[in-house]
């Protein structure tokens, strides 16, 4: 059985990243800057999971780029903006 591939938009705490790497193939943005929206759209293609951090704009374009493979989207943040509750559909 193949392992799911997960895009992580920025480095996570080492314990969390280690657990993720034990179960999944991780595509980690380990650069000094966050991904641009266009980079996020390009890199989510073919992934089964996306772990995004607060600055990442996960909108309809990102979600559609991940289809049909994208099954799980997770946000790592301290709180959310009310506008983030607007449905993507």
pLDDT in tens, 32-83: 999 999 999 999 999 999 999 988 999 999 999 999 999 999 999 876 666 5
Structure-block tokens of residue 73: 């989207």
CB 6 within 8 A of CB 50: yes
Tell me which residue has tokens 């997960």.
6
Structural domains in the chain plus CATH codes: 5-79 (3.40.50.720)
**Separation between Cα atoms, residue 65 and residue 6, nearest integer Å:** 14
Quote the pLDDT of residue 59. 94
Distance from C-alpha of 70 to C-alpha of 50, rounded to nearest angstrom: 8
């Amino acid at each position: 059985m193949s392992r799911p591939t997960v895009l992580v938009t920025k480095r996570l705490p080492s314990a969390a990243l280690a657990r993720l790497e034990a179960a999944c193939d991780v595509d980690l943005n380990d650069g000094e800057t966050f991904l641009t929206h266009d980079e996020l759209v390009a890199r989510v293609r073919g992934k089964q999971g996306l772990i995004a951090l607060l600055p990442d704009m996960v909108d309809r374009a990102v979600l559609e780029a991940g289809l049909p493979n994208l099954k799980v989207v997770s946000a790592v943040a301290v709180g959310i903006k009310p506008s983030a509750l607007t449905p993507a559909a």
